[in-house]
Chains A and B, each alone.
Chain A
Amino acid sequence: MTRKVVTLIALVAVAGLFLVLLRLGTPNELGTVSRHYVERGIAENRAANLVTSVVVNYRGLDTLGEVTVLFLSVTGAAFVLRRRERKPVDARASRASEIVQTGARLLVAPIMLFGVYIFVHGHLTPGGGFQGGAVVASGVLLLLLADRERELPHGLMAWLESLSGFAFIVAGLAGLWVAGSFLANRGVLPLGEWNRLLSAGIIPVIYTLIGLKVGSELAALLDVMMRGEAVAAGHGAARSGGGRRGGRTRGGKNRKKGGRR
C-alpha cells in the first residue's frame, strides 16, 4: 500500500517535471546544425534523403555503434541462452497449416526483394539499411512461424553477418585513408549526380552493408529466441567441433536438475 502511494506521488512529481518540459513546446525553426545539413547536405553528399545523409555520413559513428548494439544483443542473447536445453517440439504445434506454409514460401521471396529494394534505395527514398534489414528479417520470421523446425542457412547467415560488419569498418577506414577521417564520404567514391541510384558516394554501399548486417542479425535473433539453445548463425557451439562440448554442457545441466529434485 505504502509502495503504491509513494509510487503515485513520485509519478505525479515526474508528471510535474514533464509539464515544465511540455511548456517549452517544439521549435519553430531549424537549429544551426540541422540548417547546415538541410542547406548543404545535397551539395556535400548528393544523397536525396537527408536523413540517410545524417545517419550514414554525418553521424556515421552513431550508426556503427547502432549496428554494434544489435550485434551485441544477438551475441548476448545467444550467450544467455547457451545453457538452455532445446525443448522437444511437438510436430503438430510447430508446424502451421499447409496453406500458411505454402503462402509463406510464396511470400518470402517478394518480401526479401522488397527489403533489399528498401536498403538499396536508402539514399533516395524513405527507409534504409535498418528498415530494409527489418523487412528481410520479417521474411525469415514468416518462414519460422510457418515451420519452426525449418533449418535456416546458418553458414550463409554467418558469412553475411561477419563480412558485412567487417566491410562497414573497411569502408570507414577507406575514408580515413583517403580523406583522413573515419567514415568520410568525399573522395572515397565519386559522388555522382543527385537523385540517381548510383550517387552519394559510399553512402549506398554502407547502407547496403547495414541492410545485410541488420537482416542477418535480426534473423539470428529471432532464431535464437524462438529455439532456445543457440544454433544461430555462426555463434553455434553446436557447429564445427563445438558439438561435443555442447552435449557435455547439456548433460551436466541434466544431472544438476536431477540432483535438485
Chain B
Amino acid sequence: MNPVLFIAVPLGAAFLLPLVRRMGDRAARGLAGLTFAFVLAAVVAWLPALGNGAMLTVTTGGWPAPFGIALRFGLAEAVLIALSAAAALGSFGAVSSRAGRDATSGGVRGLVIVLLMVVGANGLIMTRDLFNTFVFLEIVSIATYALAATGDESRGLEAGFKYMFLGAVASAFILIGIAMLYRLTGTLSIDGIAESLMVGGAGAVPMFALGVVLLFLFAGFLVELKVFPLNGPAIDLYDGVSPAVMALTVATALNASVYAFWKLMPIFRAVDLTLVLMVIGGATFVLANLFALRQSRVRRMLGYSTSAQLGLIVMLMPLAHSGDVSATAVGLLLVNHTLAKAGLLWFAGSVGKQTLVEWKGVLAGSPAARLSLAALVLAIVGMPPFPGFWGKWDALVALSRGPHAWWIIPVLAGSLLEFIYYFRWLRLAHVPAEDAETKLEPTGSLVPAHAFGIIVLGAGLALSSRLVTSSTDAVLTLAGAGLVLLIAGQLPGRLLQFLSLAAVAASGWMLHQAGSLAPTSITGFFMLIVLFGAFTVVLAGIGTPPDRKRYHGLFLLLVASLVLLVDARGPLGFFAGWELMTWTSYLLVAQGQRGGRPAFRYMLFSGAAGFLVLGGILVALGAGVTTIGDFAHLAGPAALWTAILLGAGFAVKAASAGAHVWAPDAYTESPDLFSAFLSGVLSKMPLFGIVLFGTRLVAGADPALIGGTYGPGYALGWLGAITAIGMTLLAALQEDAKRLLAYSSVGQIGYAVVGFALLTPLGWTAALYHTVNHMIIKLLLFLAIAAVINRTGTRRMHEMGGLIKKMPAQYIAVLIGIIALSGVPPLSGFAGKWLIYNALIEKEWYFIAGVLMFASVIAFLYLFRLINTIFLGQLKPRHREVREAPAVFVVAQALLVFAIMGLSMFPDALLRVTTAMTAPFFGAAGVELAADGSVLVSLGYLNAFGVMAMVMGLFAVFFAWVLFLGPKTTKVGQLDIVMAAEEPPAPEEIHYAYDFYRPYKRAFAPVLRVSVERGWSRFAAVLSAVAEYGRRFYTGDAQTYLLYAVVFLGIAAVAVLSRLG
C-alpha cells in the first residue's frame, strides 16, 4: 500500500468514468462510490499504525526530494484524507436530494468533478513540494468553480464567477511568490526552501525582498482560507451554491488549503507574520460572527460561520507553529468544524428551506432530526463533549499561559456571538407544530447529516476520557442510561420513568461506594443536593402522564453532567461539567410546550455566564494554577480578576438582578417537573461555584481585606439584596403560578448570595443552610403547582380556586411550603433568615439587612396568594371533577414535607455540617451548637425544637377552638352573584384575585418602570445595528473584493516590512 494511491485511484476512476457511463448511470455511480469507499476504508485501516506519530515519506518519479516530488503521510494527513473521502461518500449519499440530482443531471460530469475534488484535496494534503501545492490547489479551486453551477443557477453563477475571479488573481499572486522563492533558494521542496531560508540566514537572502515574496504567497493563500477582508466571494459562494456541494468543499478544498498553509508555516517563519495572522484571524472570528447575526438566509449564515471558524484557526496557527499552543488543539478545531459544518450544510440542503423564517417549525414533528440538528449545533459552537470543546479549551489555556493572554477576549466574544445566531436557528427549527407554517418534508436524505453528527459525537466522547474522576462510574451509568433512553424514545413512557429512577438510584449507590457523598465536604454536600433533588423529581414524575419521551433521556444526561460538575477534580472538569449542564438543561427547557424562546434566552445568558466563568478560570490558570485547591495560592490582581470574573459568571447564572431576565420565562415555560428541578437544584449550581472557588479564594486572601465591614463582597451583597427585593416585588404581581414561583426562586437565591457575599463564617453557614432549605421548599412548591396544573390544565391562578377540597394533599404541601419559605417560626425558614440577619448585623451591613427584612415582608404578599387564590375561595364549575395527584406523587412530596419538618426541629443537624465545611477555610466557626440543639451566635441563640413545641401547642389550642367552639358556617350557593345590570367587561376583571395587588402596582410604578428587559432589548438593537452597518463592507461587487485583496496586500506589506527595516 502506498499513499500515492489515494491520488491515483480516484484519478483513474475519474478518467474512466466517461467510458463507464456508456454502460449506464448505475455503473458510473457504482464506480465512484466504490472509489470513495476504497479510499476511506484504506485510510481508516491505516490509522492505528499512524497513531504513534509514524510518518511515511514517499517519492514520485523515482527520485528523492528535492529532485523528485515527495509526498508525506502521517496521522494528520490520514485524518484529513479520511474526512475528504467521508464527505465525498456523504455527498454521494445525498444525491437523492434535489441538489444532488442536479449535480448529476448532466450524466456523470458532476461525479467526475467530485472525484477530481478528492484527488486535488488528497494531493494538496500530502505533497511536500511548493509548486505541486499550487497545482493541487488549482485542482480543488477549479473543481469548486465548476460545482458552483449547481442549485439555483443564476445565484450559483454569480457566486461562482466572483469566487473564481478573486481566486484566479490570488493564484497569480501565489505563483509570483513561488517563482521568486525559487529564484531565492533554487529549490521547490517545501522543506528545502525552509531549510535554505533558515540556514542561509540574513546574509544569504535579502530579508526585505524575501518579505515581499512571502507576502504575495501569503495574500494568495489567505483568499483560499476565507479570512477577513478577503472572504466576500467565499461567503457569496455559500449563499449561492447548493449546500450539499459546500459540505463537500468544506471537507476537501477548504481543509486541504488550511493544511497546505500549515505546511508553509516554516517558510513564513523567515519573516515574522505571527502578529499579522493573529490580527486578521481574530478580526475574522469576531467580525464574521457579528455579521452573521443579521443574516436571514441560513446558507449565508453558515458561510459567515465558516469564515469565522477558519479565522480562529488562522489566528492560532502561528502559535501552534511556535509551540505556544498545541497543534493537536488546532487540529481538533479543524476536524470539529469539518464534521459539524458539513453535517449542518447537508442538513440545510436536505431540509431545503432558505430563510430563517421558512425554517420555523420544520422540525417540530421529527424528534430524530431535532436531536441531530441540536447535536451538530452544539458541536460547532464548541460545547463538551464535542471535539471543538477540547480544542478550544486547550488553545485557550495555552493562550492564558503565554504572552498572548489578551487574545482570549476576542475568542470568547466571538464565541458568544456565535451562540446567538446558532441557537436562534435552533429555536426557530424547534417551534412547536401548531405555530408552524410548514412541516419537515426533506428534499433529500438526512442520513449523511445524521452520520456526521454521530461521528462528531463519537470523536468527542473518545476525547472525554480526560475527565475521569472517582465518580466516573456514576457519570457513565447516568449518561449511558440517558443516551439509551434518548434513542429508545419509543419505549412505553412508564418504563422510561422507572428506568430513570433506577439509574438515579444506582448512580447514588455508586457515588456512595466511591465515597463521594461525605456531607461535610463541599462536593459531597452539593452531590447530596443533586441526588436528593433528582430522586424526588423522578419519583414524582412516575405519577405524571408520560408524554414527553425525550425528556427522560435528557434529564439523565443533565444529572450526569451535574455529577461531573460537582465531583470535578480540576478546573477542566468543572468547566466541562458546567457547559454540559448548560446545554442539557437548555434542551430540557426547550422541551416545554412553548419553551423555544425562553430556552434561547436561557442559553444566551448561560453562555455568557459560562464564558465569564471560563475567563475567571483562565486568569487563574494563567497565574499558574492547576487544581482547584491551588486557587488558594492566588494573590494580587490575578486573585482579584479571578474573583470578579467568576463572581460575575455565577451571578448571571444565578439570575441576579440585571441578568435575571432569562429566569422567569425559562422557569415558567419548562416542563412542569423540570421547573421544580431548575429551581430546586440547578439554581444551586452557581452557589456551588461560589462555595467551591470562594472558599479557596477566601482562604488565600489577606484577612484584613475580607475582615472589614466594606470588603470586596459588599458590591455582591447589594446585588443579592436588590435581587431579593426586586424579584419578590415582581413575584407579587404575577398571575401565573409558575411565574410567581420563578420570581420567588430567583429572589430567594439573592438571600443566599448576600450570605456568601458577607465573607464571614456565619454568613456562609447561614447561606448554605438557606441553600438546602430553599431547595427542599422549592421542590415541594413546584411539585404541588405541577400537580395542580396537571389536573386543572391552567397556570393562571385566577382560573383556579377552591381546590382545597379536591386536592387536600397539595393544599397541605403548599401551606407548609409557604410557611417555611416566609421565614416565620416555627418552620425551617426561620432559622435560615434569623442566621442571615445575625450575620448581617455582625458585619454591620445594616442597610442591606433592612432591605432583606422588607423583602421578607413583601414575600408574604405573594405567598399568601398561592394559598388564597388556588386553594381557598370558590371552586370553578369546570374543576368539579378534579382529582388529587397520584399516590406516588404525594409520596415524593411527603418526603419533602418530612425533610422540612426535620429541619425545622433540628436545624443544628444541618448547621453542624455547614459549620464543619466552612470552618477550615475561615479558621473559625460561625455558630456554636449547644448539646441540647440550641444554636448560639454572638447576638443570641435559637432553640428551634422549643419554638416548634410552643407553636404547635398554641396551634393545637386554636384549632380545637375553631373546630369545637367556633361559630357555625352557612353554605351559600356558589353562583349566587348579581351583577347589578352591568355587563362585565372581561371575565378576569371581575375576579377578585386578578391583578390582586393593583394598588401596590400603582405605588411602585416608578420602580417598575425601570425595565431591565428594555435595557437588554436596546443592547441587542445596538449590536444588531453594528452588525448591519458592518456587513455592508461586503458590497457584492467582484472588483471591490479584488480591490480589498490588493489593498490588503499593501497594508500587510507596510505592517510586515516596516519591522524589517
Instruction: Knowing A68-B119, A235-B109, say if A24 contacts B184 (CB, 8 Å).
Output: yes
| Contact indicator B60/A182 (Cβ below 8 Å) | yes
| Contact indicator B1043/A3 (Cβ below 8 Å) | yes
B108: shortest Cβ distance to chain A, in Å?
A: 8
Q: How far, in angstroms, from A58 to B2 measured CA to CA in the complex? A: 19
Which of the residues A13, A32, A183 comes within 8 Å of B61, measured between beta carbons? A183
Q: How far, in angstroms, from A56 to B14 measured CA to CA in the complex? A: 21
| Contact indicator A13/B1053 (Cβ below 8 Å) | yes
| Contact indicator A33/B143 (Cβ below 8 Å) | no
Instruction: Knowing A68-B11, A234-B18, A234-B19, say if A76 contacts B143 (CB, 8 Å).
Output: yes
| Contact indicator B113/A65 (Cβ below 8 Å) | no
Which of the residues A59, A183, A242 comes within 8 Å of B62, measured between beta carbons? A183
A145: shortest Cβ distance to chain B, in Å?
A: 26
| Contact indicator B135/A65 (Cβ below 8 Å) | yes
> Which stretch of B185-193, B551-559, B595-603, B789-797 is in the interface?
B185-193
| Contact indicator A162/B116 (Cβ below 8 Å) | no
- 1/0 per residue, CB under 8 A from A, across B98-126: the answer is 00000001111110110010011001000
Cβ of A71 < 8 Å from any Cβ of B?
yes
The residues of A that contact B113 with a CB separation of less than 8 Å are 72, 75-76, 79
Cβ of B953 < 8 Å from any Cβ of A?
no
| Contact indicator A27/B183 (Cβ below 8 Å) | yes
- 1/0 per residue, CB under 8 A from B, across A152-179: the answer is 0000001101110110111011011001
B residues 1014-1056 in Cβ contact with A at 8 Å? 1040, 1043, 1046-1047, 1049-1050, 1053
- 1/0 per residue, CB under 8 A from A, across B176-206: the answer is 0000101111111100100000000000001
Which of the residues B127, B149, B153 comes within 8 Å of A61, measured between beta carbons? B127
Q: How far, in angstroms, from A75 to B1050 measured CA to CA in the complex? A: 37
| Contact indicator A57/B61 (Cβ below 8 Å) | yes
Cβ of B635 < 8 Å from any Cβ of A?
no
Q: How far, in angstroms, from A242 to B21 measured CA to CA in the complex? A: 10
Instruction: Knowing A31-B187, A76-B142, A169-B11, say if A58 contacts B107 (CB, 8 Å).
Output: no
Q: How far, in angstroms, from A24 to B176 measured CA to CA in the complex? A: 14
The residues of B that contact A245 with a CB separation of less than 8 Å are 105
Cβ of B958 < 8 Å from any Cβ of A?
no
Which of the residues A26, A61, A78 comes within 8 Å of B106, measured between beta carbons? A78
Instruction: Knowing A72-B113, A80-B149, say if A185 contacts B62 (CB, 8 Å).
Output: yes
Cβ of A69 < 8 Å from any Cβ of B?
yes
Q: How far, in angstroms, from A113 to B763 measured CA to CA in the complex? A: 100
Q: How far, in angstroms, from A165 to B208 measured CA to CA in the complex? A: 44
| Contact indicator A162/B16 (Cβ below 8 Å) | yes
Which of the residues B24, B188, B1047 comes within 8 Å of A33, measured between beta carbons? B188
Cβ of B820 < 8 Å from any Cβ of A?
no
The residues of A that contact B185 with a CB separation of less than 8 Å are 31
Q: Chain B: which residue is nearest A64 at the CB level?
A: B11
| Contact indicator A82/B109 (Cβ below 8 Å) | yes
Q: How far, in angstroms, from A21 to B177 measured CA to CA in the complex? A: 10
Q: Chain A: which residue is nearest B1049 at the CB level?
A: A14
Which of the residues A30, A62, A168 comes within 8 Å of B135, measured between beta carbons? A62
| Contact indicator B142/A241 (Cβ below 8 Å) | no
The residues of A that contact B110 with a CB separation of less than 8 Å are 79
| Contact indicator A33/B187 (Cβ below 8 Å) | yes
The residues of B that contact A9 with a CB separation of less than 8 Å are 1050
| Contact indicator A14/B18 (Cβ below 8 Å) | no
The residues of B that contact A159 with a CB separation of less than 8 Å are 19
> Which stretch of B209-217, B273-281, B778-786 is in the interface?
B209-217
Cβ of B693 < 8 Å from any Cβ of A?
no
A246: shortest Cβ distance to chain B, in Å?
A: 8
B contacts with A, residue count (CB < 8 A)? 78
The residues of B that contact A207 with a CB separation of less than 8 Å are none
B residues 22-80 in Cβ contact with A at 8 Å? 22, 24-25, 58-63, 66-69
Cβ of B131 < 8 Å from any Cβ of A?
yes
| Contact indicator A58/B61 (Cβ below 8 Å) | yes
The residues of B that contact A82 with a CB separation of less than 8 Å are 105-106, 109
| Contact indicator B8/A182 (Cβ below 8 Å) | yes
Cβ of A7 < 8 Å from any Cβ of B?
yes
Cβ of B139 < 8 Å from any Cβ of A?
yes
Q: How far, in angstroms, from A11 to B109 measured CA to CA in the complex? A: 40
| Contact indicator A172/B132 (Cβ below 8 Å) | no
Q: How far, in angstroms, from A37 to B212 measured CA to CA in the complex? A: 29
B119: shortest Cβ distance to chain A, in Å?
A: 6
| Contact indicator B135/A24 (Cβ below 8 Å) | no
The residues of A that contact B11 with a CB separation of less than 8 Å are 64, 68, 169
Residue in A64, A159, A161, A240 whose Cβ sees the most chain B Cβ within 10 Å: A64
The residues of A that contact B62 with a CB separation of less than 8 Å are 57, 175, 179, 181, 183-186
Q: How far, in angstroms, from A37 to B66 measured CA to CA in the complex? A: 11
Cβ of A226 < 8 Å from any Cβ of B?
no
Cβ of A86 < 8 Å from any Cβ of B?
no
A residues 65-119 in Cβ contact with B at 8 Å? 65-66, 68-69, 71-73, 75-80, 82-83
| Contact indicator A79/B15 (Cβ below 8 Å) | no
B1049: shortest Cβ distance to chain A, in Å?
A: 7
Which of the residues B58, B120, B182 comes within 8 Å of A182, measured between beta carbons? B58
B residues 136-162 in Cβ contact with A at 8 Å? 136, 138-139, 142-143, 145-147, 149, 153, 157
Instruction: Knowing A17-B215, A158-B19, say if A78 contacts B1043 (CB, 8 Å).
Output: no
| Contact indicator A17/B131 (Cβ below 8 Å) | no
| Contact indicator A66/B135 (Cβ below 8 Å) | yes
| Contact indicator B1049/A13 (Cβ below 8 Å) | yes
Cβ of B451 < 8 Å from any Cβ of A?
no
Cβ of B937 < 8 Å from any Cβ of A?
no
A171: shortest Cβ distance to chain B, in Å?
A: 11
B1011: shortest Cβ distance to chain A, in Å?
A: 44
Name B residues whose Cβ lies closer than 8 Å to a Cβ of A.
Answer: 2, 4, 7-8, 11-12, 14-19, 21-22, 24-25, 58-63, 66-69, 105-110, 112-113, 116, 119-120, 123, 127, 129, 131-132, 135-136, 138-139, 142-143, 145-147, 149, 153, 157, 180, 182-189, 192, 206, 208-209, 212-213, 215-216, 1040, 1043, 1046-1047, 1049-1050, 1053
Supply 4 further A-B pairs (C-beta < 8 A) apart from A44-B63, A75-B112, A234-B22. Answer: A14-B1049, A68-B139, A179-B62, A235-B106
Sample of 8 A–B contacts (CB below 8 Å): A33-B67, A58-B63, A61-B7, A66-B135, A79-B146, A163-B19, A169-B12, A185-B61
Q: Which 6 A-B pairs have the closest CB atoms?
A: A31-B186, A76-B146, A184-B62, A165-B15, A13-B1050, A234-B18
